[in-house]
């Protein structure tokens, strides 16, 4: 690899100046040379003085204004213009615009008292006479960044604060509105680069911050320089230097980066408008970097920014270099204050015996990741050896030697190998690739080893550097592309065929027809009563009354109109709804078809009628007219799940679909339910249905991505993780799960990036909102602080029943934060859900010893003992929970299982008290049923009936409720109600021999015959 040294760069600057002068003189007429007009409009808040303004860009002096007499503090018009020429086709010319701001220097001209009697020369080109007449002192400087022009702006107008050279005393301090300002306008006639040109370019931002933990041998009397390499306009590497590192003993106060080209200029005018970065530092050092950056300790500070224009090919070179070596090099040279680092143009005869040459390898490999354009890294300093640099980065020569390819006679004799020189003592050009060692390396027969540098106290000496690109080396998938990929994997539902009539619409019309007919019948009945009120008393039978009313409707013609209307609606409904051919040859199939149609029409009619009749008109219920919400159904499903009633739980999940089958959350909940029992294929179908309804469903994307990862579909899983973090960039749990996924596939660069992004998302507990609001019945998440990203992610993944990823999250929690009480609790939860009850008990026991009687720990331990069949130990744990002073009101599962135990032990009074408390906060069909049973056993039949009716109103398929309702009606000697309840109990599969035997005993006592059970299909 070749490098361009400082001398070559100086030659380019000289040649650029020659070209510029030639253009001004008309010797070169290049149409590609284009002007940037810089106009100084006014200067404000400076008065009673004479100034000149010099405009400089890089090493080129663009111009200097005439002598300006400032008298008015408000603002003096200047209208001085100068031109910066550039070539749009030359990368080096464009790089000058990107890399260097325009520097404005304001010099004050005061009359020399010794030359008052003489007159200044009118010829301003004779500075010697003018200098004799005036005392010239620098008043201040300011700079203007031209980068917006490169990004597409056609003009810039800024009010620049003039940073005064003189240090002001507290009495001389000036308020903000009265600070001296320079108003500048920069314009161009056309865009500097076209969009096509800009697409083939990139901008590189290199920031060297500071070196920390420096040893005592590094003092303020030394000079500190650093160098690195980058491919800029060509594929060859160019050396980038950071001079004049400052020795500091206090923590950093300034917020802005310095321009690297202004390192030799004192004052605040060297600062850019770029803030110092506060990004996460990438390093393999186990240090608290925030503490190091904020402590008052000696350090070497640069805080310098170098901005470069690079080509697309140069970007590929950076990518290939990082892919090969996984790091980037930075060399540091420390020398005495009077000595000049090797390669500087200020002096060649310097003392080189006291130089310290170091090297650092900064890990910028995360730039290889798609979409990443900025990395802030820290690396330990090592002593420089050529062999180590060759093996780790591939450079054959030190950068500080390469900057000065013309060693002095003293330096030449110090190298281990020498090359023939010309008569003038210079090395031939053909020998520029020869390997030589810097003067600070002693001549030895064997190469020295590179050793890490430590402070006297044993702390590593490290340096922080940041690399940023305007466009990432590898583009990230766009949102549109991700949506396209998802739609290809999960195609949207095909649109339904457009028809004038559909089954749903025909059903709606039929229901509306039934409502209309009910209104008509009601009105006709009112008319009939008004006409036949005197004769109503003569009807002794109901049939006689019905016959009379039917005759009245036939007479008025209403019946025929109703029949015709209903016939049309039924015909349309059957045509759209039925799939049976009307011309079926089998007579039996026709009869069955007619039966099915009749049953269907009557059921639909009953639905309409029931929707118009209030529940409390039929059932004496304290609940009144109510509708079971989908949230209540979810609670009932979770309760049935904990009671191992899988079919009942599935029933409640399906009931939610009956209310709204277009809600993606309902489909996801059902999929999570199947995941608990390991039925991944069925769960995946429901998750896919979730994403079909909402392709950006947050939890749906997370769950599907983890399912794909478990099935080792890593490419597709990465697409969905990428889409999730793209759609929801502040979703911290998604980034942590993405981190775990990359750890699983051993992509450690991606894992570190995902972890860094999650840290940015999660600032404090206040910023965290749970993505799953539903709390589990068997474990809780509210009793422990959510101050760990891994614990929060483990909670979310556990609720999704993604146990493998939840275990990985807990493993990372153990690595980063060690074993805490929350960690042991959530690990026990994971073991409980996996059926490892004894392992869960062991962890809870350890946590209880450290934390004491916490209701979350005791309740989970009770659930574990309950599942193991240790009923006595479970009751003891549940009793601890009930007696806890800090427990919440809603401990549903604990009270449910404790109440079941009371019923088993025939402790009915305690069961009654407990279930009354439960029904205040979380009433369910089961808790109402248990309350009714307790009251019945206490022979409080009135309360038992009320509780059982409440439970039956919530779930009319609960067989135990129907059984005890039958017993209650027997106690009240209600024959008809008993028959109805008993038939319902038999219909729903009553098999409890205790209830059946008690019913038969009461039947025999009351001499009631056995009700004939109805036969239901």
915 versus 767: the higher-pLDDT residue is 915
Integer Cα distance of 635 and 82 in angstroms: 77
- Tell me what pLDDT residue 1 has: 33
- Tell me what pLDDT residue 819 has: 85
Three-state DSSP at 605 gives: helix
Q: What is the mean pLDDT of residues 14-42?
A: 61
Residue 12 clears pLDDT 80, i.e. is over it: no
Residue 439 clears pLDDT 60, i.e. is over it: no
- Tell me what pLDDT residue 900 has: 93
Least reliable range by pLDDT among 23-32, 85-94, 870-879? 23-32
φ, ψ for residue 167 (rounded to 5)? -80, 120
Q: What is the mean pLDDT of residues 833-837?
A: 93
Render pLDDT for 879-934 as a digit per residue (tens, 0 to 9).
988 887 777 778 899 999 999 999 999 999 999 999 999 998 899 999 999 999 99
- Tell me what pLDDT residue 533 has: 57
Proportion of the chain in helix, strand, coil states, percent, rounded to 5: 50, 15, 35
Integer Cα distance of 15 and 20 in angstroms: 9
The per-residue b/e assignment along 946-970, b for 16 or more CB within 10 angstroms, e otherwise, is bbbbbbbbbbeebbbbbbbbbbbbb
With CA atoms as reference, report the closest residue to 402 among 435, 374, 424, 444.
Answer: 435
Place of tokens 């010319």: 93
- Tell me what pLDDT residue 156 has: 92
Chain-centroid distance of CA 256 in Å reads 28
Angle of helix 732-744 versus helix 714-727 axis, rounded to 10: 160
Least reliable range by pLDDT among 303-317, 462-476, 602-616, 722-736? 602-616
CA separation (Å) from 220 to 214, 245, 293, 386, 454? 12, 10, 19, 28, 19
Task: Give 237's contacts (C-beta < 8 A, 6+ positions apart).
Answer: 1, 2, 3, 229, 230, 231
Contact indicator for 637, 673 with CB cutoff of 8 Å: yes
In 10 A of CB 183, how many CB atoms?
A: 17
Q: What is the mean pLDDT of residues 49-65?
A: 90
Q: What is the mean pLDDT of residues 790-805?
A: 94
The per-residue b/e assignment along 739-763, b for 16 or more CB within 10 angstroms, e otherwise, is bbbbbbeebebbbbbbbbbbeebbe
Average pLDDT, the chain: 81
- Write the DSSP symbol of residue 345: S
Q: What is the CA radius of gyration of the chain?
A: 43
Cβ-in-10-Å burial (0-12, 13-18, 19+) of 535 comes to exposed
Tell me the range of 442-456, 606-620, 829-843 where mean pLDDT is highest.
829-843
Q: What is the mean pLDDT of residues 376-390?
A: 92
472 versus 603: the higher-pLDDT residue is 472
The per-residue b/e assignment along 665-679, b for 16 or more CB within 10 angstroms, e otherwise, is bbbbbbbbbbbeeee
Chain-centroid distance of CA 255 in Å reads 27
- Tell me what pLDDT residue 602 has: 87
Instruction: Show the tokens assigned to 731.
Output: 């979703």
Residue 462 clears pLDDT 50, i.e. is over it: yes
- Tell me what pLDDT residue 501 has: 58
Contact indicator for 394, 1 with CB cutoff of 8 Å: yes
Residue 714 clears pLDDT 90, i.e. is over it: yes
Render pLDDT for 290-318 as a digit per residue (tens, 0 to 9).
888 888 899 999 999 999 999 888 999 99
Integer Cα distance of 1007 and 121 in angstroms: 139
Three-state DSSP at 854 gives: coil
The per-residue b/e assignment along 711-735, b for 16 or more CB within 10 angstroms, e otherwise, is eeeeeebbbbbbbbbbbbeebbbbb
Place of tokens 């609720």: 799
- Tell me what pLDDT residue 420 has: 32
Integer Cα distance of 793 and 774 in angstroms: 15
Tell me the range of 406-415, 752-761, 934-943 where mean pLDDT is highest.
934-943
Residue 215 clears pLDDT 60, i.e. is over it: yes
Report the percent of the chain where pLDDT is more than 90.
Answer: 40
Indicate the pLDDT class of residue 622, thresholds 50, 70 and 90. Answer: very low
Integer Cα distance of 304 and 208 in angstroms: 5
648-653 contact pairs (CB < 8 A, 24+): 649/673, 651/957
Task: Give 593's contacts (C-beta < 8 A, 6+ positions apart).
Answer: 578, 580, 584
The two beta strands, 181-187 and 33-44, are antiparallel
- Tell me what pLDDT residue 453 has: 92
In 10 A of CB 474, how many CB atoms?
A: 14
590 versus 428: the higher-pLDDT residue is 590
φ, ψ for residue 203 (rounded to 5)? -115, 130
- Tell me what pLDDT residue 710 has: 94
Contact indicator for 774, 782 with CB cutoff of 8 Å: no
With CA atoms as reference, report the closest residue to 298 among 467, 466, 456, 465.
Answer: 456
Half-sphere exposure of 288 (CA within 13 A, CB side): 4
Q: What is the mean pLDDT of residues 254-271?
A: 79
Least reliable range by pLDDT among 325-329, 530-534, 563-567? 530-534
Q: What is the mean pLDDT of residues 545-559?
A: 84
Report the percent of the chain where pLDDT is more than 70.
Answer: 81
Instruction: Show the tokens assigned to 854.
Output: 């916490």
- Tell me what pLDDT residue 868 has: 93
Q: What is the mean pLDDT of residues 262-282?
A: 81
Residue 434 clears pLDDT 50, i.e. is over it: no
Indicate the pLDDT class of residue 767, thresholds 50, 70 and 90. Answer: very low
Q: What DSSP line would sit under 269-314, residue for residue?
A: GGEEEEEPP-PPPB-SS---HHHHHTS---EEEEEEEEEEEEEHHH
Give strand pairing partners of 110.
135
188 versus 1017: the higher-pLDDT residue is 188
- Tell me what pLDDT residue 429 has: 35
Task: Give 874's contacts (C-beta < 8 A, 6+ positions apart).
Answer: 862, 863, 865, 866, 897, 901
Cβ-in-10-Å burial (0-12, 13-18, 19+) of 916 comes to middle
Instruction: Show the tokens assigned to 405.
Output: 């390819």
Q: What is the mean pLDDT of residues 472-484?
A: 88
- Tell me what pLDDT residue 586 has: 64
With CA atoms as reference, report the closest residue to 236 among 366, 379, 91, 97.
Answer: 91
Integer Cα distance of 700 and 675 in angstroms: 13
48 versus 845: the higher-pLDDT residue is 845
- Tell me what pLDDT residue 333 has: 93
- Tell me what pLDDT residue 660 has: 84
- Tell me what pLDDT residue 430 has: 33
- Tell me what pLDDT residue 471 has: 92
pTM above 0.85, yes or no: no
φ, ψ for residue 18 (rounded to 5)? -65, -45
Least reliable range by pLDDT among 35-39, 87-91, 538-542? 538-542
Integer Cα distance of 193 and 453 in angstroms: 46
Integer Cα distance of 688 and 490 in angstroms: 7
Instruction: Show the tokens assigned to 713.
Output: 């579909």
Q: What is the mean pLDDT of residues 232-240?
A: 80
Residue 8 clears pLDDT 50, i.e. is over it: no
Contact indicator for 149, 156 with CB cutoff of 8 Å: yes
CA separation (Å) from 370 to 321, 472, 474, 729? 16, 7, 5, 15
Integer Cα distance of 993 and 995 in angstroms: 5
Least reliable range by pLDDT among 239-243, 383-387, 607-611, 778-782? 607-611
Residue 810 clears pLDDT 70, i.e. is over it: yes
- Tell me what pLDDT residue 804 has: 95
With CA atoms as reference, report the closest residue to 403 among 6, 744, 962.
Answer: 6
Integer Cα distance of 952 and 396 in angstroms: 86
Residue 414 clears pLDDT 60, i.e. is over it: no
CA separation (Å) from 165 to 107, 178, 259? 10, 17, 17
Render pLDDT for 569-620 as a digit per residue (tens, 0 to 9).
888 888 877 765 555 556 777 777 888 888 888 888 888 887 776 443 343 4
Instruction: Show the tokens assigned to 354.
Output: 């006291």
Residue 944 clears pLDDT 80, i.e. is over it: yes
- Tell me what pLDDT residue 115 has: 56
Render pLDDT for 105-151 as a digit per residue (tens, 0 to 9).
988 887 766 655 555 554 444 444 555 667 788 888 899 999 999 99
Chain-centroid distance of CA 502 in Å reads 44
With CA atoms as reference, report the closest residue to 825 among 797, 789, 850, 800.
Answer: 850
Place of tokens 């013309």: 406
- Tell me what pLDDT residue 626 has: 57
Contact indicator for 737, 797 with CB cutoff of 8 Å: yes
Contact indicator for 103, 270 with CB cutoff of 8 Å: no
Helix (H) / strand (E) element for 137: namely: strand 134-144
């Amino acid at each position: 690899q070749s490098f361009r040294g400082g001398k070559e760069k100086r030659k380019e600057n000289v040649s650029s100046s020659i070209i510029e002068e030639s253009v001004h003189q008309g010797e070169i007429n290049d149409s590609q040379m284009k002007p940037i007009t810089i106009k100084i409009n006014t200067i404000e808040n400076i008065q009673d003085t004479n100034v000149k303004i010099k405009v400089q860009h890089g090493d080129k002096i663009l111009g200097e204004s005439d002598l300006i007499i400032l008298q008015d503090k408000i603002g003096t018009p200047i209208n001085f213009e100068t031109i910066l020429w550039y070539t749009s086709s030359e990368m080096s010319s464009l790089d000058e615009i990107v890399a260097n701001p325009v520097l404005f220097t304001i010099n004050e001209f005061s009359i020399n008292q010794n030359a008052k009697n003489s007159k200044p020369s009118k010829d301003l080109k004779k500075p010697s006479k003018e200098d004799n007449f005036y005392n010239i002192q620098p008043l201040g400087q300011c700079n203007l960044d031209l980068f917006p022009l490169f990004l597409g702006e056609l003009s810039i107008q800024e009010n620049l604060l003039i940073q005064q050279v003189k240090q002001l005393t507290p009495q001389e301090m000036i308020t903000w509105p009265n600070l001296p300002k320079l108003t500048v306008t920069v314009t161009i006639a056309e865009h500097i680069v076209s969009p096509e040109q800009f697409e083939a370019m990139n901008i590189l931002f290199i920031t060297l911050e500071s070196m920390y933990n420096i040893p005592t041998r590094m003092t303020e009397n030394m000079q500190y320089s650093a160098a690195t390499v980058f491919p800029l306009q060509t594929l060859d590497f160019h050396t980038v230097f950071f001079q004049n590192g400052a020795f500091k003993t206090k923590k950093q106060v300034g917020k802005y980066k310095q321009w690297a080209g202004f390192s030799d200029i004192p004052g605040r005018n060297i600062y850019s408008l770029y803030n110092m970065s506060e990004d996460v530092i990438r390093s393999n050092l186990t240090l608290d970097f925030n503490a190091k950056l904020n402590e008052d300790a000696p350090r070497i500070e640069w805080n310098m920014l170098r901005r470069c224009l690079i080509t697309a090919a140069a970007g590929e070179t950076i990518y290939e270099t990082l892919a090969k070596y996984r790091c980037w090099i930075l060399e540091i040279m420390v020398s005495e204050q009077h000595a000049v680092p090797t390669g500087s143009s200020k002096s060649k005869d310097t003392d080189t015996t006291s130089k310290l040459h170091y090297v650092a390898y900064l890990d910028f490999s995360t730039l290889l990741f798609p979409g990443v354009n900025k990395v802030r890294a820290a690396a330990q300093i090592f002593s420089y050896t050529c062999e180590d640099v060759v093996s780790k980065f591939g450079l054959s020569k030190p950068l500080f030697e390469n900057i000065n390819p013309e060693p002095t006679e003293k330096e030449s004799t110090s190298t281990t190998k020498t090359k023939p020189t010309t008569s003038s003592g210079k090395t031939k050009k053909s020998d520029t690739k020869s390997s030589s060692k810097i003067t600070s390396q002693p001549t030895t027969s064997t190469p020295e080893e590179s050793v890490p540098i430590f402070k006297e106290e044993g702390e590593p000496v490290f340096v922080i550097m940041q690399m940023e690109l305007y466009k990432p080396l590898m583009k990230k998938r766009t949102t549109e592309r991700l949506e396209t990929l998802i739609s290809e994997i999960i195609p949207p539902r095909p649109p339904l065929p457009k028809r004038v009539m559909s089954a749903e619409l025909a059903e709606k019309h039929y229901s509306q027809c039934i409502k209309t007919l009910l209104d008509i019948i009601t009105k006709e009945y009112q008319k009939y009563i008004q006409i036949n009120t005197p004769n109503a008393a003569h009807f002794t039978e109901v049939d006689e009354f019905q016959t009379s009313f039917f005759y009245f409707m036939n007479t008025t013609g209403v019946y025929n109109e109703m029949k015709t209307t209903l016939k049309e609606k039924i015909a349309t409904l059957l045509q759209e709804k039925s799939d049976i051919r009307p011309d079926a040859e089998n007579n039996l199939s026709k009869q069955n078809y007619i039966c099915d149609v009749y049953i269907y029409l009557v059921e639909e009619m009953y639905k309409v009628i029931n929707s118009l009749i209030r529940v409390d008109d039929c059932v004496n219920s304290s609940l009144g007219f109510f509708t079971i919400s989908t949230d209540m159904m979810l609670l009932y499903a979770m309760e049935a799940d904990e009671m191992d009633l899988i079919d009942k739980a599935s029933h409640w999940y399906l009931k939610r679909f009956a209310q709204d089958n277009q809600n993606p959350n309902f489909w996801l909940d059902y999929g999570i339910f199947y995941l608990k029992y390991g039925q991944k294929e069925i769960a995946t179908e429901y998750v896919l249905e979730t994403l079909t309804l909402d392709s950006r469903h947050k939890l749906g994307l997370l769950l599907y991505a983890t399912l794909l990862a478990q099935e080792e579909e890593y490419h597709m899983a990465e697409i969905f993780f990428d889409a999730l973090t793209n759609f929801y960039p502040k979703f911290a749990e998604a980034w942590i799960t993405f981190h775990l996924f990359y750890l699983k596939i051993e992509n450690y660069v991606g894992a570190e990036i995902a972890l860094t992004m999650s840290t940015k998302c999660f600032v404090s507990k206040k910023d965290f909102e749970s993505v799953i609001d539903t709390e589990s019945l068997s474990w809780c998440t509210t009793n422990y602080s959510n101050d760990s990203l891994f614990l929060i992610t483990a909670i979310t993944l556990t609720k999704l029943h993604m146990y493998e990823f939840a275990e990985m999250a807990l493993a990372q929690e153990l690595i980063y934060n060690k074993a805490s009480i929350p960690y042991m609790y959530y690990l026990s939860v994971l073991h409980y859900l996996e059926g490892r009850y004894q392992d869960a008990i062991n962890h809870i026991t350890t946590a209880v010893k450290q934390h004491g009687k916490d209701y979350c720990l005791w309740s989970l331990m009770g659930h574990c003992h309950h599942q193991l069949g240790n009923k006595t130990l479970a009751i003891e744990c549940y009793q601890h929970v009930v007696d806890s002073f800090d427990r919440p009101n809603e401990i549903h599962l604990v009270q449910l299982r404790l109440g079941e135990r009371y019923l088993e032990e025939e402790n009915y009074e305690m069961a009654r008290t407990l279930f009354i408390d439960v029904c205040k906060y979380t009433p369910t069909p089961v808790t109402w049923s248990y309350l009714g049973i307790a009251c019945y056993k206490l022979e409080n039949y009135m309360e038992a009936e009320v509780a059982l009716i409440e439970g039956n109103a919530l779930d009319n398929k609960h067989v135990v409720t129907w059984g005890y309702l039958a017993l209650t009606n027997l106690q009240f000697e209600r024959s008809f109600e008993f028959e109805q309840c008993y038939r319902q109990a038999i219909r729903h599969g009553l098999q409890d021999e205790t209830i059946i035997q008690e019913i038969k005993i009461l039947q025999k006592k009351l001499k009631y015959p056995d009700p004939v059970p109805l036969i239901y299909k």
